[in-house]
Chains A and B, each alone.
Chain A
Amino acid sequence: MGAGLAAVSLCASLRAGGYTGRLTVLGDEPCHPYDRPPLSKQFLAGDRGIAEIAVQPAQWYPDQGIDMRLGIPVAALDADTGRVELADGSALAADVLVLATGGRARRLTAPGSQAAMVLRTRADAEALRARLVPGARVLIAGAGLIGAEVAATATHRGCHVTLVDPNPLPMEQVLGPQAARALHAQHAAHGVTVIRGGVFAVEPGKVTLSTGDSVPADLVMAGIGIVPNVELAQDAGLDVDNGVLVDAGMRSSAPGVYAIGDIARVDGSAHRSEHWDNARRTADAAARSILGLPPEAWRAPWFWTDRYGTHLEMTGLYDPAAEAVPRGDIAAGAGSVFYVRDGRCVGAVSLDRPLDIRAAQRMIDRDVPVRAERLADEGTDLRKLLTNIRSDAPGG
């Protein structure tokens, strides 16, 4: 249920794992699954078209023997019988049900803000792109991942952008202060007006902020996060708390019902991941559970974001108690920060240095001991450091 990246990845993993039975994907959007990351980047900029953002080419679905039923929302499910009802009144049944309904864009609640645009679907991106014309005055509420990417793309398209966020340093809790500062400083450097505050009221042609400022705006866009689409699960009586609660094998509280992607939260973990790679991994984990295969080893989480032509990646987690080890100069636009605790790398963030992240992922996954001086030394080849540590380590 839900035809996004998680659903496609699940089908691929099931087939790769030898499953030859029936696969049906139910999606409410009328099109084949597409990749969402380009919606705020190349697709919004007009540099990539519909065909280029498809998760898989259209022929892949029949080739894999997947029955795609698109354009009709799922209305209800019965966890005991495996029966699923669609909004058009039809119904079907399955032995295993997987919830992959993702999330929808959170909306502003201030008076008049129904007029604010959001960005979650391809249709949203097409509507937004049509309004991002040169000279347009754009007010963006929220300087997190989506809001900041849209600010960069809108600027690139010649719009005048005002970016409003109540947080003095957006993303600091996720990335750590050095990287958050380097990223946030890009807005002003590219001519975006950054205001600390919230949206108080939206009126035609202007927005009143919590600061009392009135900002002229031809269009308002809200990038203030998502709400997981948990209603189906909730109505079916599954355990839900900021996402459908699952175990490490993506099993929900109801036997035979799984949840994957943005909608799922592993019971016991503090937050719910809303990243591309998480959709793939959780799909893989669910496929292994369904097929009765042993789970794969845990891997460090990973995501990226692109703004103003720079590429940021993060792996592992930012730990405020960890030592922040700089490599290169992230403030100057190319560098990384490794978070090191008790002689282990627990996370890393990098701006335009993706190989540092490739290395960090492996340090975390393989639990290799690291020394801060070595990481900070640009003369250290991280790839060789990893292989050497592995062969040096007693007993492998």
Chain B
Amino acid sequence: MSDQQPIDVFAAADLGDGDAKTIPAKVTGWSDAITVFRDGDDFYALDDTCPHEKASLGEGWLENGEIECPLHQSRFSLKTGVVTCLPATRNARTHRVEVVDGRVLLTPGLAPTDAA
């Protein structure tokens, strides 16, 4: 993707701690739906489809900075997308999210910054 424009997806206050919102592919223009997670005051974004099979990570269980897939419990780091346990062997794709003036801005395809 060459034109990586941030997309204003929702107000930060609309997403509670430990919750997730999935943004459909037709909104983001990305190849997969993207889920934005909130862990404490931090926001993260991952491709929604689990790299193992077809489950939606947005329906998973968020804990300790990881999202656990609802189907077979592979876990992925929210920060890096790295898979930390089987059965999945591939990492999840991460995207940049920033909170600006209370709005959550998602940039599909761009690596997350750690300066959020």
Contacts of B68 in A (CB 8 A): 358
Instruction: Compute how far the CA of A280 lies from the CA of B71 in the bound complex, rounded to whole angstroms.
Output: 16
| A57 at the binding interface (Cβ < 8 Å) | yes
Choice from B53, B59, B70, B86 contacting A55 with Cβ under 8 Å: B86
B31 at the A/B interface (Cβ < 8 Å)? no
Give the secondary structure class of A's interface. Answer: helix
Q: How far is the CA of A12 from the CA of B53 in the complex (A)?
A: 22
Interface residues on B, range: 10 to 19
9 example contacts (A-B, Cβ-Cβ < 8 A) are as follows: A42-B53, A55-B89, A57-B89, A277-B73, A280-B86, A354-B59, A355-B59, A358-B61, A359-B61
- Complex contact B18–A355 (CB within 8 A): no
Given A355-B59, A383-B18, are A9 and B86 neighbors across the interface (CB < 8 Å)?
yes
Write out, one digit per residue, whether chain B residues 52-96 have a CB within 8 A of any chain A CB (1) or not (0).
010000011100000010111100000000000111010000000
A56 at the interface (CB under 8 A from B): yes
Q: Does A319 contact B (CB under 8 A)?
A: no
Name the B residues within 8 Å of A355 (CB-CB).
59, 61, 70
Contact of B71 among A5, A35, A354 (CB under 8 A): A354
Number of interface residues of A (CB under 8 A): 23
- Considering the chains assembled together, what is the distance between the CA atoms of A56 and B87 in angstroms? 9
In the bound complex, do residue A383 and residue B72 qualify as a contact, i.e. CB atoms below 8 Å apart?
A: no
Q: How far is the CA of A280 from the CA of B75 in the complex (A)?
A: 14
Query: Chain A residues with Cβ under 8 A from B18's Cβ?
Result: 383-384, 387
8 A-B pairs besides A276-B87, A359-B61, A383-B18 with CB distance below 8 A are A56-B89, A280-B85, A280-B86, A302-B73, A354-B59, A358-B60, A358-B68, A383-B61
Chain B 79-116 interface mask (CB, 8 Å, partner A; 1/0):
00000011101000000000000000000000000000
Assembly CA distance A276 to B18 (angstroms): 28
